[in-house]
């Protein structure tokens, strides 16, 4: 690289960093401004005797005045969002880095979430994982927070302190694979669809996952075995192996995964790695088999259902609640 090219590259980098900082500063200032506008609207509303009617008229009149003075961006809908923004986020959140680093488009989605814990989760993950607005919308729509096993109240962290319960979902929503809703489905086709949409699958899996191999062979002195998918999670510092099942979960499937995990720990796990986690992704599962198998006690084995289409919000919530009740019964 010539000296002139290096010089140009350095100057360009300085300008790009400056523009990025400028955009970030403008976004932070506007987020704070929207929150302050929302607070002022609520304060003014509270002076009216009939809050609902007064509030609607107040926002309509404010929208007309601001649009006349400042142009676009102050519609009734946007000002109403400012009001909701103030009511959703306490002042300490607005003053923190967390909210200031998220765009207004991100925050408008998050403030429609009802649970305060879920709001904090989506704010944190959107920032840490650098989710686009579309990725955030999908995670909210598929209730990503509620699908995490960590939402089950009495789950205890494993003895190694890896906190892997914060990463495993049930069910996994795989509508992006565009597979037919009705069975039968070959496991090889499911595997290939995941490989074809690996980036989207990694996003659905959660943070920290990197792809290692498909159909990885592990061998003993007498036999060869093939694991469908192998990942490594750099946050958990462990391998995560996945066995794909297009039918109902059976006790043979659980026994096979138990063997895979033990073999993988013995043959592939590094000295600094935490114990391997095994996930059986199945089309459906018999709760009796889960309850009376090694899945109940093991901190390394999990069985999660996958859904080929994006369910309705009601269907997804019902499925999550069934899983919660089942695990509470198992305790």
DSSP sequence for 279-314: EEEEEE--HHHHHTSTTTT-SSEEEEEEESS---HH
Q: Report, as an integer, the average pLDDT of 228-239.
A: 94
Describe the strand order of the beta sheet including 224-233 as a list of residue ranges: 172-173, 301-307, 277-284, 238-248, 224-233, 209-219
- Together in a domain, 168 and 298: yes
- Together in a domain, 199 and 296: yes
Task: Say whether pLDDT at 325 is over 80.
Answer: no
Burial string for 213-240 (b: 16+ CB within 10 Å, else e) reads ebebebeeeeeeeebbbbbbbeebebbb
The predicted pLDDT at position 289 comes to: 77
CATH number, domain containing residue 250? 3.40.1350.10
Q: Report, as an integer, the average pLDDT of 14-35.
A: 77
Least confident range of 88-102, 181-195, 205-219: 88-102
The predicted pLDDT at position 155 comes to: 44
Residue with the bigger pLDDT between 185 and 228: it is 228
Question: Per the domain annotation, does 313 fall within a domain?
Answer: yes
Q: 193: how many CB neighbours lie within 10 A of its CB?
A: 18
- Together in a domain, 155 and 58: no
- Please report, in angstroms and rounded to a whole number, the separation of the first and last CA atoms in the chain: 65
pTM of the model: 0.76
Question: Per the domain annotation, does 138 fall within a domain?
Answer: no
- Together in a domain, 187 and 309: yes
- Together in a domain, 186 and 259: yes
Question: Per the domain annotation, does 173 fall within a domain?
Answer: yes
- Together in a domain, 193 and 293: yes
Helix (H) or strand (E) holding 328: helix 313-330
Q: What percent of the chain has pLDDT over 70?
A: 82
- Together in a domain, 36 and 174: no
Question: Per the domain annotation, does 257 fall within a domain?
Answer: yes
User: Which of these three, 55, 88, 121, is where a domain ends?
Assistant: 88
CA geometry: angle 149, 150, 155, nearest 5 deg? 95
**Could you give the number of structural domains in the chain?**
2
Q: Among residues 89, 87, 163, 165, which one has the least CA distance to residue 123?
A: 89
- Together in a domain, 196 and 70: no
User: Which of these three, 71, 88, 105, is where a domain ends?
Assistant: 88
**Cβ pair 143, 321 in contact under 8 A:** no
Residue with the bigger pLDDT between 93 and 124: it is 124
pLDDT in tens, 242-289: 999 998 898 899 999 999 999 999 999 999 999 999 999 998 887 777
Peptide bond into 184 cis (omega under 30): yes
What span, in angstroms and rounded, lies between the C-alpha atoms of 105 and 97? 17
What span, in angstroms and rounded, lies between the C-alpha atoms of 68 and 128? 38
- Together in a domain, 76 and 160: no
Residue 155 backbone phi and psi in degrees, to 5: -65, 130
Mean pLDDT, the chain, integer:
83
Task: Say whether pLDDT at 191 is over 90.
Answer: yes
Question: Per the domain annotation, does 81 fall within a domain?
Answer: yes
- Together in a domain, 286 and 192: yes
Could you tell me the two tokens for 76? Answer: 């009734």
User: Which of these three, 61, 88, 115, is where a domain ends?
Assistant: 88
Q: Among residues 44, 140, 34, 41, which one has the least CA distance to residue 94?
A: 34
Beta strand 238-248 with 277-284 is parallel
Question: Per the domain annotation, does 144 fall within a domain?
Answer: no
Q: Report, as an integer, the average pLDDT of 128-154.
A: 80
- Together in a domain, 70 and 157: no
- Together in a domain, 58 and 155: no
Question: Per the domain annotation, does 50 fall within a domain?
Answer: yes
Residue with the bigger pLDDT between 20 and 203: it is 203
Q: Residue 150 — pLDDT band, cuts 50, 70, 90?
A: very low
Task: Say whether pLDDT at 48 is over 60.
Answer: no
Question: Per the domain annotation, does 130 fall within a domain?
Answer: no
Q: Residue 159 — pLDDT band, cuts 50, 70, 90?
A: very low
Least confident range of 106-120, 163-177, 183-197, 271-285: 163-177
pLDDT in tens, 64-119: 998 888 888 889 999 999 999 999 988 777 666 666 788 889 999 999 998 888 99
Q: How distant, in Å, are the alpha carbons of 171, 230, 263, 320 from that of 223?
A: 33, 19, 12, 39
Structural domain including 1 reads 1-88
């Amino acid at each position: 690289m010539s000296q002139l090219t290096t010089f140009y590259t350095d100057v360009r980098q300085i300008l790009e960093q400056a523009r990025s900082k400028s955009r970030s500063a403008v976004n932070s200032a506007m987020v704070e401004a929207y929150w302050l506008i929302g607070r002022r609207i609520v304060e003014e509303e509270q002076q009216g005797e009939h809050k609902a009617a007064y509030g609607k008229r107040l926002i309509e009149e404010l929208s007309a005045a601001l649009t006349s003075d400042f142009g676009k961006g102050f519609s009734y809908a946007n000002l109403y969002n400012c009001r909701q923004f103030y009511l959703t986020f306490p002042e300490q959140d607005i003053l923190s880095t967390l909210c200031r680093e998220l765009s207004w488009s991100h925050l408008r989605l998050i403030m429609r979430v009802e649970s305060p814990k879920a709001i904090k989760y989506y704010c944190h993950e959107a920032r840490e994982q650098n989710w686009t607005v579309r990725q955030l919308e999908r995670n909210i729509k598929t209730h990503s927070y509620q699908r995490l096993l960590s939402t089950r109240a009495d789950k205890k962290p494993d003895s190694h302190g890896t906190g892997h319960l914060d990463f495993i979902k049930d069910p996994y929503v795989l509508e992006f694979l565009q597979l037919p809703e009705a069975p039968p489905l070959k496991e090889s086709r499911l595997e290939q669809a995941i490989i074809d949409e690996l980036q989207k699958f990694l996003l659905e899996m959660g943070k920290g996952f990197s792809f290692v191999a498909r159909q990885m062979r592990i061998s003993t002195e007498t036999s060869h075995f093939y694991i469908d998918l192998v990942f490594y999670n750099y946050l958990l510092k462990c391998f995560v192996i996945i066995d794909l099942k297009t039918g109902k979960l059976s006790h043979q499937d659980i026994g096979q995964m138990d063997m895979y995990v033990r073999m993988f720990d013995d043959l592939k796990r590094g000295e600094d790695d935490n114990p391997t986690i095994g996930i059986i992704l199945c089309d459906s599962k018999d709760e009796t088999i889960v309850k009376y198998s090694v899945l109940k006690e093991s901190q390394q084995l999990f069985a999660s259902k996958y859904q080929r289409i994006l369910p309705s919000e009601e269907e997804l919530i019902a499925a999550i609640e069934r899983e919660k009740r089942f695990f509470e019964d198992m305790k």
